[in-house]
Structure 1
């Protein structure tokens, strides 16, 4: 029985032409070899499993080949190539910096550099995971890396370029490897399956490529596991089962339930998914990616970003045209918020179910509106169903007639036919004002007014307050407006300041006291403030202030405007104590003989 070799080692590329997905690297290296323009130090950086070490070995093999092809490839038949493939070549030295990261390891490497190759042109030193070297090891490597012998070439490989010292980076030619695309991975896996006589579905290989996330080594390892799991037949169903991936058909069905607002079916589907062992965060993440693919599929320009199996592409394109963009964008927002809060929630299942409930009723909650090129959200309040009330024809009551009010209440008790096209409205009756009882009204023989007053008394507590407010407003509206004068205005202003003081809003009291008032006309008042902060305190109380002014002057049209006039700061003169010299000058100004006395006695000021 032959010893099993994993596909990642068995099918490791031996030439530049067989390297997958790194054409920009291999072309540059082949041209450098053909033109004899090789640098003395290379730095290969990029994600794991994309071919950094492989390209380093191919480069070392090619530059020592005795019969290079015209394209700059190794011949694979000369003694150098054969010894290299067998692992017995003395011209290549590999160092794992993860386990040999000390200064002594680098010094032993530098000692080996002094010896010229016995066969071949170059000695190649490959240092893998070079970012694991210590700072001392880096410093010990600097001089040799900057000025190596003409036969020595260093190839450094790393997955974390940012951890390497800038002095090392400046001495190397840097090659950035990129992740391998899904299409390149699928093609390479299909070639291996053909060589190994493995039956593999294209959709299954695409799932493997997505799971590997651009790492060829991972994709080959996954393929080996699935081949062992399925006994040589790689199908879409077996691949999903082995990789623990949720089938996209579930997401299509879930989307249909959400569009139909079939919450029961959606929750039952999530229960089925949960019983299969899929975690809630996996469902949220998978559904987010599914909606992202739908959003991409809506526009033909960006449909190329759709990375799904060919069998599902047409289904995505058809479904994307039926789903509005407003639903997709809003659903993505809800799912993103749910994923962020998933770890903090105690009941994971309830958290996911609440998200499904939100998505079920999302399309009747809001929509996207395009206003002059600006996309904004609009709540669908107008389309919401209202409670049906009976339309009642009610005439406005006159405050002077109590009998008319009694007739109006009698009309309220009679049923009225509702028009089929009339919009339902809730109409609140305006009550008549309270009539004060006089001595004549309370006499035993006078019962008509007492009966009318009893009929006008409200019966419901909450409705009676509304009726009293409306009655008070109507009563105020019936009186004539009070003439606005500055004296009366300041009286009204003081009453409002007292209200603020009763609320313990002392900062507003201070600012209201500092304001100046001016009457513009019968409907406009001007408030003069000393700055924007002063104005802000007054604007905060705008609603209460307008109501207070209108009620005081009995004028519903009364309003005010705030004017800011910043006054110049007047510095307050304060008594500053004089220094000794200033005191002396002031004294001799009044008494000149003091100066003469000071000079004769030769006194000095402290």
Structure 2
């Protein structure tokens, strides 16, 4: 039985021209070899499976080739190339730093560098996974890496460049390998399938390339598994089954249900997905990518970013024309939030189903723009509807006050009464058209006749109202219109200032305290209740406190109290003055004053005379 060789080894590139997806590196290396401008140390870094070690081996073989070709490739016929292909070259040493990462291993390597090659021009040392070396090993390697012998060349390879010491990086010529694109991977897999006489659909190879995320080694290993699974006949369906990937058809079906607001259909499709063994997060991630592809497909300039097969691109393009960018972006945001909160959700199925229900009604999201003050608004569908916005009456927008009803300005055709005998035609203000279920609660429209004006000049208020109604009004949103109407109402009802009297002060003060009592803030209530109000001047209110603690509390609340009185008396010039009743201050008995040391001793000998006799007999001196 013939020994099977996996495709990753069987079709491993043997020269620069067969390396897939790294032309920017292979071209640089070939030019360096042709021009004899080789560095003494190279660092190949990049993701796994993109050809770092392969390029290192090809470079080592090409450097020692005895008869290199004109394009910088190895001849594969000389003794050096044949010995390398057979794995018997004495000038190329490969070290795995993952298992040989101690300082002793590097010292042994440095000792070998001292010996010149017996055959060939260079001795090449390939150190794979160099980031696994210890700090001591790196330090032992520094001097040799910076100033190696003329015949020694080091090629380092790593997947994690950030773990390498900066002193090592500065001594190497760095080459960054990139991920292999999906199209390059598909072309390479198609070439291998033809050589192995394997029947493979293009969509199946696309799935393999997308699943392996730019790693050629994983792509070849996956191809070998699916070939064994399908006996050499790769189709889109059996590749989906083997790789456990959701079919794009599911996303197209779900999208159709969402656009038709068919919640039942969307939930049934999601249930079918769960029955096949897929988790909710797989569905969310795949649908987010599906919506991203729809958004990119709307612009021809970036359509190449949709890395799918040709027939799928057409389906994406056709479906994206039915959706607006606003809808897709909003749906992506919703799915992103759902995916973030998926792990914290206890009922994960319900969590995903809620996102489906929201997306079904997302196309009815509206942008409310006030068309007029009677509640007519514009509804703008995120899904285009022949480019025409729809108008509707918002049932939740009730007329706030009479100010929200603006009468039509008088025009030249409007008759103006010139004599009392000519009764004017009553003008009816436009009213809000309520829905049927709210008609019973709505007030009937009010008819206001225009008073006759025989010979009297128009009053200032009438002129102002006419000027206001004839002036162009800026369209406001619903919230801004409500705020303006309330401000107008307050302004019309509180024009005159309320006289400041001691009785009114106490009434308003009790109202102010009652707010804190209702909030159960009894500490604040007790401090406020102890204060005494007085009138110091016509527009100056005095607030007297009984103690310093209460005074400090009043200072903190002074601004709020002052604004309260200004609002109640409709007088912005009111001044609030805080006072302290010194007569209410309690005198604190601090006790007798402390005695000095000399006074304490004098009182002691006065009470105990023997102490003085003892002092005199011992001839003691006291240090006060």
Q: TM > 0.5 between the two?
A: yes
Please say which of residues 79-88 and 510-519 is displaced more in the overlay: 510-519
Partner of 2:292: 292
Q: How does 1:59-74 map to 2 (within 5 A)?
A: 59-74=59-74
Q: Is 1:538 equivalent to 2:553 in the alignment? A: no
Q: CA RMSD in A?
A: 4.4
Instruction: State the match for 2:499 in structure 1.
Output: 484
Q: What is residue 143 of structure 2 aligned with on the other side?
A: 143
Q: Report the Cα offset of residue 485 of structure 1.
A: 3.4
C-alpha distance in 1, partners of 2:393/2:8? 61
Aligned pairs for 1:522-537 (under 5 A) are none
**Residue 183 of structure 1 pairs with residue 198 of structure 2:** no
Question: Which string of whole-angstrom CA distances, capped at 9 and with x for unpartnered residues, describes residues 32-81 of structure 1?
Answer: 11111111111111000000000000100001001111111111111111
The CA deviation at 1:486 is: 7.1
Q: CA deviation at 1:121?
A: 0.5
Supply the distance in 1 between the matched residues of 2:326 and 2:320 (Cα, whole angstroms): 12
Q: Please say if residues 31 and 72 of structure 1, whose CA atoms lie closer than 8 Å, have aligned partners that are also in contact.
A: yes
> Residue by residue, what CA displacement relative to the aligned partner does 1:101-130 show, whole Å, maximum 9, x if unpaired?
111111111111111111110010000011
Alpha-carbon distance in 2 for matches of 1:107, 1:562:
89
In the other structure, the counterpart of 2:27 is 27
Unaligned runs of 5+ in 2: 370-378, 383-389, 399-431, 444-491, 542-554, 577-623
Residue 101 of structure 1 contacts residue 134 of structure 1 at CA under 8 Å; is this kept in 2? yes
Q: Which residue of 1 aligns with 2:49?
A: 49
Distance in structure 2 (CA, Å) of the matches to 1:357 and 1:150: 71
| Shift in alpha-carbon separation, 1:65–1:480, aligned structure 2, 3 A | closer
CA distance 1:237–1:479, change in 2 (3 Å): closer
SS at match of 2:29: helix
Residue 86 of structure 1: aligned partner: 86
Q: Which is further off, 485-494 or 46-55? A: 485-494
Does the C-alpha gap of structure 1 residues 70 and 478 become closer, same or farther in structure 2, counting only changes over 3 Å?
closer
Shift of 1:184: 0.8
The CA deviation at 1:242 is 0.8
Asked whether the equivalents of residues 200 and 235 of structure 2 are also in contact (C-alpha less than 8 Å), the reply is: yes
Contact 2:513–2:525, Cα closer than 8 Å, also in 1: no
Q: Deviations over 1:3-46 (max 9, x none)?
A: 11111111111111111111111111111111111111111110
1:303 match: secondary structure: helix
Q: 1:208 to 1:479 in 2, by over 3 A?
A: closer
Distance 1:48 1:480, change over 3 A: closer
User: TM-score, normalised to structure 2's length?
Assistant: 0.67
Contact 1:65–1:81 (CA<8 Å) still a contact in 2? Answer: yes
Matched-pair contact (CA < 8 Å) for 1:61–1:84: yes
Partner of 1:155, secondary structure, is strand
Residue of structure 1 equivalent to 2:605: none
Distance 2:237 2:167 in 1: 52
Partner-residue secondary structure (3-state), 1:183 = helix
Provide Cα deviations, 1:193-249, integer angstroms capped at 9, x if missing partner. Answer: 111111111111111111110101111111111111111111111111110111101
How much does 1:302 deviate?
Answer: 2.1
2:573 and 2:136 map into 1 onto residues whose CA distance is 74
Unaligned runs of 5+ in 1: 370-376, 390-420, 431-476, 526-532, 565-605
Counterpart position of 1:332: 332
Aligned equivalent of 1:125:
125
Question: Residue by residue, what CA displacement relative to the aligned partner does 1:403-457 show, whole Å, maximum 9, x if unpaired?
Answer: xxxxxxxxxxxxxxxxxx9442456489xxxxxxxxxxxxxxxxxxxxxxxxxxx
Residue 101 of structure 2 is aligned to residue 101 of structure 1: yes
Shift of 1:350: 2.1
Contact 1:127 1:155 (8 Å CA) reproduced: yes
Contact 1:535–1:562 (8 Å) recurs in 2: no
CA distance in 2 between partners of 1:65 and 1:492 (Å):
106
Give the superposition deviation at 1:351.
2.0
Return the offset for 1:325. 2.1
Q: In the alignment, what sits opposite 2:619? A: none
Counterparts of 1:354 and 1:148, CA distance in 2: 65
**Distance in 2 of aligned mates of 1:129 and 1:150:** 25
Question: Using a 3 Å threshold, how does the CA distance of structure 1 residues 478 and 89 change in structure 2: closer, same or farther?
Answer: closer
Cα displacement (A) at 1:304? 2.1
In structure 2, distance between residues paired with 1:190 and 1:89: 33
| Structure 1 partner of 2:6 | 6
Aligned to 1:231: 231
Change in CA separation of 1:74 and 1:508 when aligned onto 2, cut-off 3 Å? farther
The 1-side partners of 2:113 and 2:195 are apart by 42
Check 1:26–1:427 CA distance in 2 against 1; reply closer, same or farther (3 A cut): same
Secondary structure in 2 aligned to 1:100?
Answer: coil
Does residue 495 of structure 1 match 2:483? Answer: no
Which residue of structure 2 lines up, in the alignment, with residue 269 of structure 1? 269
Aligned to 1:411: none
Query: Structure 1's 165 and 561: CA in aligned 2 closer, same or farther, altered over 3 A?
Result: farther
Equivalents in 2 of 1:331, 1:72: separation in Å?
Answer: 53
